Structures are given as structure tokens and as C-alpha cells.
Chain A
Amino acid sequence: MKARRNLMWPTLLPSASAGDDFRPTATLEMLRFRAELLRRTRDFFDRRGFLEVETPVLSADTVVDRHLDPFEVEVGRSPLDTGKGGQATHAGRPYYLQTSPEFAMKRLLAAGAEAIYQIARAFRRDELGPLHNPEFTMVEWYRAGDDYDAGMTLLGELAETLFGRGPAERISYREAFEQFVGLDPHTARTDQIVAAVRDRRIDAPESLSPADRDSWLDLLLIDLVQPQLGRTRPVILYDYPAMQSALARVRDDGPRGKVSERFELYVDGIELANGYHELTDAEELVRRNVQTNLQRQLDGKRPLPSESRLLAAMNAGLPQSTGVAMGFDRVVMLAAGAKTLAEVMPFPFDRA
């Protein structure tokens, strides 16, 4: 199903004059299509016995990721209130707008929820472009008991439901790099990866350290691999490099290297969803958070809290599960054949 995109707002004349930015950038028909996809998404999970949940958007905990920057929010006395001087934090802690509902949903799993989904707003600083809006809609789900394969199967079924382009194909990160780049991303030396970028004449930031293996892999991924993924059927790319695990389990494949049990969905070369066979080991999470914060500081960024209520939940016992986060705005964009997020959101950031 495709949305036709020629429908004008009934009470507004099309115009592009100055002072006109109160108008929505999406057509009314597109918003109807968006609502229809929301219904289809809810229906998909409801039929499978998932419970729709809502968790705080504003939280003292935040995901610790090298390349994710949350908005920090001042809670308590307004700094604009000049009476006694602003108090920027609540109980001495900063609060964050969520970059995803991950932590809170895993706390629900640890408390006994079995299959849950959420359609929530997520916020990420400094992410603005045709495919990025600092505030966006995320669909996120978890099912206790699901292993790696079950998680990918469920994601593939959802992709089929939303796009109607057949069941998702799977290709491993290694296979994709061997096919489209010509190297093994897990066993190649970092200088070989850098050389592959240079050979292909892909421009790299001058400031990029030659030791920053993951960023060099990303340069290859962006230019050579991603454009090949999901051109006909949706594609699930899986088994990411171990260093890019985030909150996924790491699997040791012996001489073939370590990989993370992490997967992503691609349609038309665009990344739509990210899933993990979830890490359940609290000590490992602490180690990763400390490592990530060290890296953040090397990058000139502030560290994020290493401690969180998620740790307590993991200590209490997080069941084996697989979880996925999906960017809903991009789903609407691709399903409608649109080119930018602005076409599918009424008020993108520059009109927010």
C-alpha cells in the first residue's frame, strides 16, 4: 500500500511565503497513512500476545553509548526563577530524555513481564538531517525466552507485515563485507581496513584516528555495504563486530573471531531497526560502561552514569530475551516511497 502524496490540507492554500512555517510538512493523506501503519504495528504485536507498555521518557538513567548523546534536562527549580538561584538537578542527579526506552523495558522483563512493546518518543542530540530528527518515534519490543534466531524471525515477520515485500533475507556482517568490500571484518588487521577505505577513494575525516577500527569499518559499511542491502526484499544484517556490541551478547567463534549477537534491518539501503540477543550479565555491563565512558572522554565528551537501575534489575535476574528498536518515521517514509522524514512528520525539528 502506498500513500498518494498530492492531497492538500483542506483549509490551507499551498504557499511558500515567509512566515509560513506554521504549516505541516506532511500532507494530510500522509498522516492518515502513518496512522494506518501505527495501527498495523499495534495489531502485529497484539495478535502475538505482546503487552503495550509506557515507561518514563525522562529518566535518571540513560544508555551509555560512545556515539549517542542524550539531552540532559534540568529538573526541580527553574534556572529562570531568580528568587533563590536555580537548582539544576533533582536530588543532585541530572535527568535525561531517553535515547530509547531500553532500560525501563528491561526492568519490566526482570520484574516478570514476558512480551512487551512500546511506541515511544526518543531523543538524540546533534542528529539532524534528511534521515534524522532529534525527536523521533521508536517502536521497541522484547520477548522473554527468545533466542537470537527467534528475535530475527520476529523482526522479519514485522518487516513483511509493514512493507509487503516478502520475508526478510539474512546476511551476516562478515558475508556482506566479503561480498561488497572483499575483506573479513572480524579478522582483518585495522591497517588493512584503513587501506581498503583509501583504495576505494572513500573520503575519511582527517581527524579520524587510524586506530579507530569501528569508525573505519563504518566508512566501508556506509559507502559499500548499506546501499546494497534491502533493494528488493528487506535484509537483516547480523553478527556485528564484537567491539560494536553495545548491549548485545558476544559469541566467541574461535579462530573466526568474536562477534556480537546484534542485528539490523535494512530496506532500500536504509537502516531501520537494531536488535540484540540481550546481554544479561550485570558485571559485563559495568565493564562495558566503564570502557565506553573512557572512550567518550577520549572523544572529548562527558561520561554518562555507569550505574543505573538496569544494573540492579540484571542482578535480580534478567531472563534470556531478544529485543529490537525500530525507527518508525523511517518505516513510514520507506513504505510511502518518500525521501525525507519531513514528508512523514507534520512538524520536523526546524518547525518544532
Chain B
Amino acid sequence: MASYSTSDFRKGLKVQIEGDPYLMIECNFVKPGKGQALYKCKLRNLIRGTVLDRTYKSGDALEAADIEEVAVQYLYRQGDQFIFMNNESYEQYELTVAQVDDAWKYLKEGMGCSMILFNENPLSLTPPNHVVLKVEYCEPGAKGNTASNVTKPVKVETGAEILCPSFVEIGEMIRVDTRTGEYIERVKE
């Protein structure tokens, strides 16, 4: 397994500590003139999101985390499992609801997504920034009201609820920003 020595330490390094992947978000070189060189680091756990303060001395090393980003396709849902396929290797990955997180709201069969793998296991999933979803159900809007500042919840084909302007109707297609969860526009088929 590759490792980084302290002279490689820098912001953005992906390392492995006690089996978990971490991102080095800060690394301060500290050295009293006649003293030991120290690297005071802040590391974010890429699974739990927690931040760790760790101090290393020159000559210490951290294991590199085997992290890669791959293109995948969403295949289908099976109970609590979301099944994806690696576009290159055709390997399939099963993600739990917790791993998929908010992305389930936007997943349509056949959709291309990006997945982060840690030691070849899925760590996180990112859907495309913009997705088009079909409106399955909503309350009828006030006739002729085209103002976009009046909103209502709309249920889309994935089962998620998206806040839309009140003029959106059942059966229409809408474009949604997956980073914010916000409605962008109606789309004509």
C-alpha cells in the first residue's frame, strides 16, 4: 500500500487512518528553531464527516487511501438496496438508502451518476447536477397564475416531493437542480 511521508503532506491529500478514509483539510508546518518539526493537521473523515486533529513529526507516514471516482449507471431498486453498474467494468454495486442519501430523489433507471469508491467499495454517490422528472401528482394550481413565487409541493415519478411554482400540472416534466433540490423550469417533451 502506498503511503505519504510528512514532506508529502498538503491540503487535499486522501489518507487512511484506522481503516477509514480521510481528507487532509489543513496542514500546518510548525518548528521551533531548535526543535522537532511538527505537522499539525486537520483531517475530515469521508464516511462520517467528523474532523480529527492530529499532529505528526517529520519522518511519520500516513497510508494513502485508495479512492477513485467512477462513472456508474443506476439500474434499479430492490427493497432497500439501490443497484448501480460500473460503466467500464460492468461491476455492480448495492447501496443502502443511507449511502445513497438524498440522491434517491433523483434516481431514474438508466441514469448516469458519479460514484466515489474507497478500497473498491462505494463511499458516496453524486447524481447529475440537473435531472428531468415527471410530475405524478399535485394539487391543481390557480388558473392563469404564472407567478413563480407561489409554490406548492409536487410529487414526482421517483416518489420525492419537490417544491414547484403553482402553475406546474400533473404529467408535466420539470428540471430540478440536485445540489439544491430546487425546481428550475418546465421541460417540453
Q: Report the stretch among B54-62, B106-114, B159-167, B178-186 that lies at the interface.
A: B54-62
Closest to B41 in A: A203
Closest 7 CB pairs of A and B: A129-B29, A218-B35, A205-B57, A203-B55, A215-B36, A274-B33, A203-B53
Known pairs A132-B29, A203-B53; A126 contacts B58 (CB<8 A): yes
Provide 6 A-B residue pairs closer than 8 Å at the C-beta atoms, listed in order of the A residue: A132-B29, A203-B54, A205-B56, A207-B59, A208-B57, A218-B32
Give the CA-CA distance A299 to B37 in the complex, in Å.
12
Interface contact A222-B57, CB-CB below 8 Å: no
A239 CB-CB contact with B under 8 Å: no
Give the CA-CA distance A40 to B36 in the complex, in Å.
33
B residues within 8 Å of A by Cβ?
Answer: 7, 28-38, 40, 53-60
Q: Which of A282-338 contact B (CB under 8 A)?
A: 299-300
Residue of B7, B29, B32, B37 most packed against chain A (CB within 10 A): B32
Known pairs A128-B29, A205-B57, A207-B60; A65 contacts B37 (CB<8 A): no
Interface contact A127-B31, CB-CB below 8 Å: yes
A140 CB-CB contact with B under 8 Å: no
A214 CB-CB contact with B under 8 Å: yes
B37 contacts across to A, CB distance below 8 A: 67, 126-127
Q: Which of B31, B35, B55 contacts A204 (CB 8 A)?
A: B55
Interface contact A300-B35, CB-CB below 8 Å: no
Tell me how many residue pairs across A and B have CB atoms closer than 8 Å.
70
A271 CB-CB contact with B under 8 Å: yes
Q: Which of A205, A212, A274 contacts B34 (CB 8 A)?
A: A274
Interface contact A271-B33, CB-CB below 8 Å: yes
Known pairs A67-B36, A246-B34; A205 contacts B29 (CB<8 A): no
- Say whether chain A's binding surface is mostly helix, strand, loop, or mixed: loop
Closest to A248 in B: B34
A278 CB-CB contact with B under 8 Å: no
Interface string of A32-53 (1 = CB under 8 A from B): 0000000000000000000000
A244 CB-CB contact with B under 8 Å: yes
Give the CA-CA distance A297 to B164 in the complex, in Å.
69
Give the CA-CA distance A212 to B59 in the complex, in Å.
15
Closest to B57 in A: A205
Minimum CB–CB distance from A352 to chain B (whole Å) comes to 16
Minimum CB–CB distance from A132 to chain B (whole Å) comes to 6
Minimum CB–CB distance from A298 to chain B (whole Å) comes to 12
